[in-house]
Structure 1
Amino acid sequence: MGKVTGFKEFERKDETYKPVKERVTHYNEFTQPLNKADITEQGSRCMDCGIPFCHSGCPLGNLIPDFNHMVHQGEWKKASWILHSTNNFPEFTGRLCPAPCEQACVLGIIDEPISIENIEKNIVERAFKEGWIVPQTPNKRTGKKIAVVGSGPAGLAAAQQLNRAGHTVTVFERDDELGGLLRYGIPNFKLEKNIIDRRIAILEKEGIKFKTNVNVGVNYSVDKLKKFDSIVLCGGATQKRGLPIDGADSAGVVQAMDFLTQQTKVVLGKEVKDQVLATDKNVIVIGGGDTGSDCVGTSNRHGAKSVTNFEIMPKPPGQRSPSTPWPYWPLQLKTSTSHKEGCDRNWLINTKEFITNEKGELTALKTVNVEWKMVPGQRPELIEVEGTEKTWPCDLALLALGFTGPEATLSEKLGIETDNRSNYKATTKDYQTNIPHIFTAGDMRRGQSLIVWAISEGREAARKVDEFLMGYSNLPTKGNGDLPPM
């Protein structure tokens, strides 16, 4: 694939970014793309490795060497054709996926891996620009009606696949806009919302019906779902994890997702009462994942006095840890663009108390350093280090601690069985719940995970729904090269 000697001739090149001082003044995307010649060279680096482990690294089974080869040959339309055969929304994954495919790249054993994610993004952006992405309407309708609950990547992927099979699909979204966490949970500087809107426009033209401000089980009775032949639950894992310590309910202790959602709504011109602002405040973000990073970037754009990040786990190594060898996802330090905009990062630290003034306003945090005791065959034990207590000035604490699972509203009202983590119970064998015509996919089924996993599960669940309704399915399986018409 690519050029036979390309991986020897060309070094990896990535997108660059606008200067920090410039980009923190706005909420737009700030990447500076490579030119077409450079992208072509990056596709040429894809080597004829024999067994492309990038396939196994990608939850979608994307045909990565194939679209890399098309980019190398300048066949961009074919590259888009191949890319869309396994991935409904490469414009999302090309911006937001942590790229497990790159960590499984064979070239990555001896050199920098192929810049798969950036190639993917450039393919889909070229395809939109050239008008190659057009609605694909089914030749005929089956007469079957399907309800998809949730318009995140899992719900949208399931809806598009089921619509292509000829079913009539209605997507219900409880927010006022479509996209799930893509819409309000991801800052605009990582994903501008017109990127979602242009894809939704395609889906609407394909015949999918969307209904917003509809919270099934709350303002839309579950009894109304009886008119549908099948239901696909893709509501995500939205139960926010709290921090049960003294002062946790004080003013100034805010859930990260609430903070990010408010800011995105403001960017979109929506009215937000009593918006939480980081302006001129000492901000501490508790949690070291992507959401925590997004809070850091947003706080810097607000003009925070200082931004500090706490993580209870040890600092990862700068290089791939021996405990996670190739081709596994590596335990390795990740420094995001938001971290580089200004952040004091701290590891092995546990928050013990939120300190408030007489008005109940947050003024400081108390912490203690910790260690992890590892005993083979047992769960790691968290041990506090004596004499390491510290008080940190803090006006705003953002809890970026992830999610504990999906909300129970639908499972209780529909009678869906859940597992011991509160996830809606269904296996990857058929994505079917204990109620035969109700299926579930994405974070609601597997727990908090990646966008690429959500799309994969939505596609797989759609095939199983189609089989359930029709007795067979022509929808592609994971990694199958059943290509759509060009």
Structure 2
Amino acid sequence: MSTPTGFMEYQRQLPADRDPAERVKDWEEFHKHLEEEELQTQGARCMDCGTPYCHTGIDMIGGTSGCPIHNLIPEWNNLVYRGLWREALERLHKTNNFPEFTGRVCPAPCEGSCTVGLIGQPVTIKSIEQAIIDKGFEEGWVVPEPPEKRTGRRIAVVGSGPAGLAAAAQLNKAGHSVTVFERSDRVGGLLTYGIPSMKLDKGVVQRRVDLLAAEGVEFVVNTEIGKDIPAQQLVDEYDAVVLCGGATKPREFNIEGSDLKGVHYAMDYLNGTIKSYLDSGLQDGNYISAKDKDVIVIGGGDTGSDCVATALRHGCRSVTQFGTHKRAPLERDPIANPWPQFPNVYTLDYAHEEAKALFGEDPREFSIMTTKFVGDENGNLKELHTVQIERIVDETGRKIYQPIPGTEKVFPAQMALIAIGFDGPEQTLVQQLGLETDRRTNVKAPYGKYTTNVDKVFAAGDMRRGQSLVVWAINEGREVAREVDKYLMGSTVLV
């Protein structure tokens, strides 16, 4: 515990982000840091709550409650308060291989379940976490730590997103020889291609990849398992295979006019921009541009928000984000959304702040459904037709969306971006190995065990659980490594 009364003496303070109207002119990270003294004060707000719910990491109605990787949050808050930054880093790395990722892109369910949040504003856990790891790199405390000896066992990891990287890091730590296969031209999975640079600078990702390579992890890019290399070949050549290929199959949106020019899936739009930016600073023009267009983003989640932010940086004429959900209340509903559930309250994401700064209002439309796309005589998207909806319970007990008569509206648009989620992993590799899947086409592997119906083959992350948070992917990557190590060696020291 830092100080018994810190949560009463000090107010929650977050670092000020860069000015929204200015940061849309570049692709740099929008985050800023608090000064060390301010961070120590924020660490002092962590209280002696007996049972720290920030540790829990469980799925509850409405989202995740607490940290899925069970970070020792009160411990490193206390160490920061006392100025023991290196010790705080060591404690943070005990549970989190990549705090530089979670400190930037995690929605911080730990803060939603913080005990201080019961009566006031929660501790600024996320910003302290990021500050610890960033200081660790700045001070040179984060260095390669290759294992002292090798076991002679070889493991193939398919996919280099957060689950694959976490699995590789842990298995390498145990002394196994790990090869990570990535179908893209760069390592990182959705950390590289998926999350825009203004949320997560790609140099931050590459820095960690370089560290893992220096510790002995081998990375093979531009190689798709199931296409460039038969999936069975990995099973034959390696002692274990860990599948962390993600849930990358986009959910289809087949309504009238969805084949018009100007209608794109969100990940095609985002990834094209990210690759062009990394390859040439957008000078090669190999991306879908929103410049001077009225853009509609269909989907109210994080991917949709990233599309909004990207369109603003392209120089769109306007941008609107559609969501089927209702506008959230300003304060947590104590009955429908009690602590320690993740708080469902109205907030402005970074993209919404930017759109409001440029166009004067929140770009979101709530409780709305697109009924059709309409094009011009040349097959180009011209407008979207919509209707307001309400959520009801039908005669079978299902919750469904029902159109509200008389609320039809037409939105001008030359570009529509579909960001309505994913339908599980792509099936080529799954079918080649004859893997069993659940009703959502995810690879069937029990949580905590990660074993599939094929001997030597394990599955973790979004490929197993479906689209989820980066922090859950790290959780499963660490846990599957533990199970693989146990499978190969009979016991394990990994946690």
Work out whether residues 251 and 362 of structure 1, in 8 Å CA contact, stay in contact via their aligned partners in 2: yes
Aligned to 1:388, what secondary structure does the other structure show?
Answer: coil
Q: Aligned partners of 1:329 and 1:36: how far apart in 2?
A: 28
Structure 2 residue 140 is the aligned partner of structure 1 residue 162: no
Work out whether residues 369 and 389 of structure 2, in 8 Å CA contact, stay in contact via their aligned partners in 1: yes
Following superposition, the deviation at residue 377 of structure 1 comes to 7.8
Aligned to 1:411, what secondary structure does the other structure show?
Answer: helix
Q: Could you tell me which amino acid in structure 2 is paired with residue 28 of structure 1?
A: E
Aligned to 1:403, what secondary structure does the other structure show?
Answer: coil
Structure 2 residue 131 is the aligned partner of structure 1 residue 122: yes
Matches within 5 A, 1:247-258: 247-258=257-268
Aligned to 1:137, what secondary structure does the other structure show?
Answer: coil
Q: Could you tell me which amino acid in structure 2 is paired with residue 232 of structure 1?
A: V
Q: Could you tell me which amino acid in structure 2 is paired with residue 411 of structure 1?
A: V
Aligned to 2:423, what secondary structure does the other structure show?
Answer: strand
Matches within 5 A, 1:68-83: 68-83=77-92
Over 3 Å counting, the alpha-carbon distance change for 1:202 and 1:53 in structure 2 is same
Over 3 Å counting, the alpha-carbon distance change for 1:428 and 1:304 in structure 2 is same
Following superposition, the deviation at residue 411 of structure 1 comes to 0.9
Partner of 2:314: 302
Following superposition, the deviation at residue 58 of structure 1 comes to 0.5
Q: Could you tell me which amino acid in structure 1 is paired with residue 160 of structure 2?
A: S
Partner of 1:402: 421
Following superposition, the deviation at residue 317 of structure 1 comes to 1.3
Q: Aligned partners of 1:294 and 1:245: how far apart in 2?
A: 23
Aligned to 1:155, what secondary structure does the other structure show?
Answer: helix
Following superposition, the deviation at residue 274 of structure 1 comes to 5.0
Q: Aligned partners of 2:373 and 2:284: how far apart in 1?
A: 26
Work out whether residues 262 and 272 of structure 1, in 8 Å CA contact, stay in contact via their aligned partners in 2: no
Bigger shift: 213-222 or 119-128? 213-222
Bigger shift: 77-86 or 267-276? 267-276
Bigger shift: 317-326 or 425-434? 317-326
Gaps of 5+ in 1: 477-486
Following superposition, the deviation at residue 376 of structure 1 comes to 9.6
Match for residue 295 of structure 2 among 283, 287, 300: 283
Q: Aligned partners of 1:289 and 1:27: how far apart in 2?
A: 21
Work out whether residues 265 and 272 of structure 1, in 8 Å CA contact, stay in contact via their aligned partners in 2: no
Q: Aligned partners of 2:265 and 2:137: how far apart in 1?
A: 36
Aligned to 2:233, what secondary structure does the other structure show?
Answer: helix
Work out whether residues 232 and 433 of structure 2, in 8 Å CA contact, stay in contact via their aligned partners in 1: no
Q: Aligned partners of 2:276 and 2:183: how far apart in 1?
A: 19
Structure 2 residue 22 is the aligned partner of structure 1 residue 22: yes
Q: Could you tell me which amino acid in structure 2 is paired with residue 49 of structure 1?
A: C
Over 3 Å counting, the alpha-carbon distance change for 1:358 and 1:377 in structure 2 is closer
Q: Aligned partners of 1:330 and 1:153: how far apart in 2?
A: 25
Structure 2 residue 246 is the aligned partner of structure 1 residue 236: yes
RMSD, aligned CA: 1.3
Q: Give per-residue Cα distances to partners, 1:328-370, cap 9 Å, x unaligned.
A: 1122223201101115211111101110011110000011111
Matches within 5 A, 1:54-453: 54-56=54-56, 57-225=66-234, 226-270=236-280, 275-321=287-333, 322-342=335-355, 343-374=362-393, 378-453=397-472
Bigger shift: 378-387 or 440-449? 378-387
Work out whether residues 150 and 234 of structure 1, in 8 Å CA contact, stay in contact via their aligned partners in 2: yes
Q: Aligned partners of 2:93 and 2:395: how far apart in 1?
A: 44
Aligned to 1:268, what secondary structure does the other structure show?
Answer: helix
Q: Aligned partners of 1:406 and 1:272: how far apart in 2?
A: 31
Following superposition, the deviation at residue 394 of structure 1 comes to 0.5
Q: Which runs of 4+ in 1 moved over 6 A?
A: none
Following superposition, the deviation at residue 9 of structure 1 comes to 1.5
Partner of 1:481: none
Work out whether residues 155 and 176 of structure 2, in 8 Å CA contact, stay in contact via their aligned partners in 1: yes
Gaps of 5+ in 2: 57-65, 356-361
Work out whether residues 151 and 172 of structure 1, in 8 Å CA contact, stay in contact via their aligned partners in 2: yes
Q: Aligned partners of 1:232 and 1:295: how far apart in 2?
A: 31
Following superposition, the deviation at residue 10 of structure 1 comes to 1.1
Q: Aligned partners of 1:70 and 1:231: how far apart in 2?
A: 39
Task: Report the count of equivalent residues.
Answer: 476
Work out whether residues 282 and 394 of structure 1, in 8 Å CA contact, stay in contact via their aligned partners in 2: yes
Aligned to 1:231, what secondary structure does the other structure show?
Answer: strand
Following superposition, the deviation at residue 157 of structure 1 comes to 0.2
Aligned to 1:123, what secondary structure does the other structure show?
Answer: helix
Q: Aligned partners of 1:164 and 1:474: how far apart in 2?
A: 10
Aligned to 2:192, what secondary structure does the other structure show?
Answer: helix
Following superposition, the deviation at residue 21 of structure 1 comes to 2.1
Q: Could you tell me which amino acid in structure 1 is paired with residue 337 of structure 2?
A: T
Partner of 2:473: 454
Q: Could you tell me which amino acid in structure 2 is paired with residue 153 of structure 1?
A: P
Work out whether residues 232 and 432 of structure 2, in 8 Å CA contact, stay in contact via their aligned partners in 1: no
- Identity percentage of aligned residues: 50
Following superposition, the deviation at residue 143 of structure 1 comes to 0.7
Following superposition, the deviation at residue 83 of structure 1 comes to 0.2
Q: Aligned partners of 1:109 and 1:61: how far apart in 2?
A: 20
Q: Which TM-score applies when normalising by structure 2?
A: 0.94
Q: Give per-residue Cα distances to partners, 1:268-304, cap 9 Å, x unaligned.
A: 1248665211111111111111011111111111111
Q: Aligned partners of 1:377 and 1:60: how far apart in 2?
A: 38
Bigger shift: 368-377 or 432-441? 368-377
Q: Could you tell me which amino acid in structure 2 is paired with residue 85 of structure 1?
A: K
Q: Aligned partners of 1:442 and 1:6: how far apart in 2?
A: 38
Partner of 1:479: none
Over 3 Å counting, the alpha-carbon distance change for 1:375 and 1:47 in structure 2 is farther
Q: Could you tell me which amino acid in structure 2 is paired with residue 438 of structure 1?
A: V
Over 3 Å counting, the alpha-carbon distance change for 1:216 and 1:20 in structure 2 is same
Work out whether residues 110 and 125 of structure 2, in 8 Å CA contact, stay in contact via their aligned partners in 1: yes
Q: Could you tell me which amino acid in structure 2 is paired with residue 118 of structure 1?
A: S
Partner of 2:32: 32
Q: Could you tell me which amino acid in structure 1 is paired with residue 338 of structure 2?
A: P
Q: Could you tell me which amino acid in structure 2 is paired with residue 327 of structure 1?
A: P
